[in-house]
Structure 1
């Protein structure tokens, strides 16, 4: 039996352990790649807790949803995992070629591994879930997270005329003005002040990219719709993340009194073929430096310690097998 080292989740209540496991064997049409880098994304952590909506609840599992690897012919590829049991945080991974794209030789694999997952959330939302027209205005609700910060840049890159960034951290909000935010709104504990600021800055947006959900969304919907000059003008509210709560109570009047459309963007809302079609231009944008990426690397062998470490704001950890 051929073995390899991997991060292995044996309990949803513990961090992964670095253990020897059987090297995976490819099935029909699959290939095996040498993993060079895998991002430690929030989505990876939730899957390893069995908390993601796609989780099967089966153990043990190798965490990791995407990575950069080297094929047997030497080519570099970015790939997404096809099985929640056999993830990417290992020396070798089984890859479905339909979920992988070849990368330019010599490309820096670290920013690709770090940025593809968080950047894909807004990139796919704005290209596959809503029709962002040139000049449209966008509100990013939860812009101070890694994915939200990238969403500000991506909205501008894809043609938004105006981007409003909303989040809690004042310092990180201020930094987003250099990344494309035309206006910032700090979400504070003062409900009246926050609602007034959102109404003033975002009442006329065309698209909301919502990484928060929960109470902040409940408040934002009412504040924005109440101040909207023409409620019959379409507003697309795209639910992407739920860091502030898994559920939100939406007033029925909000749906009756405005041209408001809710939709989600994530695994299941876009076909695998659709996701694959978006990967090449996104890789090009990251490689060209059009999307800011700050990273730190750590050996996969230190996965237990890294799992317990909180990333500094704006930085994504990449594990190197």
Structure 2
């Protein structure tokens, strides 16, 4: 059941401000809509304190993500931090058919939420959870990371890739090789746990990463296939298992992988994301990830932005590549 289509009902009775997608080809606008109402048993109205602007959020708001549902008008936002009617601070994740999070208030299913320490920073949690979840779920659910394993992160200079470097080290990787296009950002990654950094197009990358155990690939497309081919040619033992985890598609959705690569090496290619990881597994992993973020284990730059500026901020890069977090 899609409950996102009656946004403008009851404005006079229960008005609130929200970001609203009125067309898939334009940024959301800041406007007044009716407050959502809990409809199912156990649902709870929450006051939203912070909601991150993630690539998943942009994709769904454009109707372009594989998990997109519904049609405009709709409120974007896939997760957030808020305070419920029980006065508890929570991080919550919304199903695709639920009300979005970029509003003064939204309705959540408490079973899809995690209680937070009262002294944590809502903006930091909202900024970090989604980008951290990508690599956390990949290394906890899709390819459990053996202690001491070697990891290559392709696309390490994006928000999710930078977080992947930190997550891999936190979960026990002995080496994390970071590859990305932004050399300025690459230079900062050794301080976050990278044991080596290499520009994505550098010929040295294949030799540096030839004997890794896991690749976390946020790039995909032709660039990733080129790295895969060169890496496998330089691998000292092609029978040693190599798991290539497709997490993102910054370099393109299609990757033409020659069949010879699959025959000539012990290569396994898997995807990690909504659908490949069961929802119950995602929810089971959230408490440990929330705890690590709340403790300050990971560094992420957050740019707190008033929700009223959503239209201007939607497609504008934040300073220093920080994660935009809207505060209603």
Q: Give the 4+ runs in structure 1 shifted more than 3 A.
A: none
Counterpart in the other structure of 1:312: 319
- 1:61–1:84 CA contact under 8 A, matched in 2: no
Deviation at residue 308 of structure 1 after TM alignment: 3.3
SS for the counterpart of 1:298 is: strand
Task: Map Cα deviations across residues 204-232 of structure 1 (whole Å, 9 max, x no partner).
Answer: 00000000001111101101111111111
Between the aligned partners of 1:260 and 1:313, the Cα distance in structure 2 is 36
Q: TM-score scaled by structure 2?
A: 0.94
- Give runs of aligned pairs for residues 64-75 of structure 1, distance below 5 A: 64-75=77-88
- 1:145–1:313 CA contact under 8 A, matched in 2: no
SS for the counterpart of 2:319 is: coil
SS for the counterpart of 1:67 is: strand
What is the aligned counterpart of 1:48 among 61, 74, 88?
Answer: 61
- 1:9–1:16 CA contact under 8 A, matched in 2: yes
1:221 aligns with 2:234: no
- Give runs of aligned pairs for residues 279-294 of structure 1, distance below 5 A: 279-294=286-301
- 1:82–1:95 CA contact under 8 A, matched in 2: no
Counterpart in the other structure of 2:23: 11
Counterpart in the other structure of 1:258: 265
Q: Which runs of 5+ in 1 are unaligned?
A: 189-193
What is the aligned counterpart of 1:118 among 131, 135, 146?
Answer: 131
Q: TM-score scaled by structure 1?
A: 0.96
Task: Map Cα deviations across residues 159-204 of structure 1 (whole Å, 9 max, x no partner).
Answer: 000010001111111110111111111123xxxxx3x312211000
- Give runs of aligned pairs for residues 1-321 of structure 1, distance below 5 A: 1=10, 2-26=14-38, 27-84=40-97, 86-188=99-201, 194=202, 196-321=203-328
Between the aligned partners of 2:250 and 2:47, the Cα distance in structure 1 is 33
Between the aligned partners of 1:158 and 1:35, the Cα distance in structure 2 is 31
- 2:154–2:200 CA contact under 8 A, matched in 1: no
Deviation at residue 317 of structure 1 after TM alignment: 1.0
Between the aligned partners of 2:207 and 2:225, the Cα distance in structure 1 is 17
Between the aligned partners of 2:175 and 2:137, the Cα distance in structure 1 is 19
Q: Which runs of 5+ in 2 are unaligned?
A: 1-9
For the aligned residues, what is the CA RMSD? 1.1
SS for the counterpart of 2:314 is: helix
Between the aligned partners of 1:308 and 1:172, the Cα distance in structure 2 is 20
Task: Map Cα deviations across residues 102-148 of structure 1 (whole Å, 9 max, x no partner).
Answer: 11112111100000000000011000100211110000000000110
Counterpart in the other structure of 2:5: none
